[in-house]
Structure formats: C-alpha cells, structure tokens
Structure 1
Amino acid sequence: MKSVLITGCSSGIGLCLAKGLKQKGYQVFATARGDIDVEKLKNLGLDAYQLDLSSSVSIQRAMSHVYEHYSNFLAVVITIKSKISE
C-alpha cells in the first residue's frame, strides 16, 4: 500500500486530498496544527497527527509517530500552506 503524509488537513485542499486518497486506497497520514482538528480527522477515519511545520520538535514528534506505526517509506509528502506570510 502506498503511503502519503499531507500537512494542512484541517480544511480545504488538504482535507479534500486526505479523504480522496484514503478512498483510493492510500495509507494517509493527515496532519494539522490544532488538537481539535486532529480529533476531527481521526473521527473521519484518518490516521491523524499534530504537526506544526514551524517547530522542529513538532516535526520530529509527528514523524516518529508515523514511522512507529508504518515502517515502510512514505511514497509522497504533500505540504499545504494555508496562509502566506507577508
């Protein structure tokens, strides 16, 4: 089974991609910054993790969880940025 990690899954394109790829048979690791959003993703049946790309600790923690539960390599990593910094 191919696996994909998607950031920014709390809404919009990230959420749509996560749901669509899961439906197509991918192992989807959906991430979001907020705990409430992570719970929402889990309630949708997705493997969901808290991930804040501005924090190296958060990145390390999320990747540790992914590799703990899925020992194969990730086929794809998709990063969705919800806000553009000025």
Structure 2
Amino acid sequence: MTGDDEFWQPQRWNVELELFFADAPAWADLGDMAWTDSMGFDFDPIGPERSAALVQIAAFIESLPQVSAMWGSIPVGGALGLERAD
C-alpha cells in the first residue's frame, strides 16, 4: 500500500554522506590516484563473511597512504542527505 495507509513508509532511501577534511600534505595527490578497486558496499551477513570483507577493506586502506591518512583524520564538517528512492 502507498498513500492509503497512514503508516506507510518508503522501502528504499537514498542516503548521501559528504565529509570535509582540512587540507593536509598526506593526501595532496588523492585526486590523481587511479581507483582500480571498488570501495563500494558489502552486503555479507554478520559473521565470517563480513569479517573477511572487513579484513580485505583494512588491507586496501593500508595499501594506499593517502587513504590511510584520511581514514585516521577527523572531519572538520559534513553534510547528510536523505530522500525517498521509491
């Protein structure tokens, strides 16, 4: 049901998170990096599969000095967008 049900909620949402960081020499060339591996979503269920995925992500972050430096940084600002996607 959609509009007829007073408790209806959309099933899909578009969420956008944007973080802002202060300039730092560690990631000065971040825009020039060739992104060959995905940094996308992982939908493995909680358990061994998710643990293995997190280990791979951590290794990927550590392999890229710029990303590793940013990962340990504290954002100076941010923006969050949320809108219905259905």
Assess same fold via TM > 0.5: no
Normalised by the length of structure 2, the TM-score is: 0.32
Normalised by the length of structure 1, the TM-score is: 0.32
Bigger Rg, which one? 2
Higher-RCO chain (CA-CA 8 Å, sequence separation at least 6)? 2
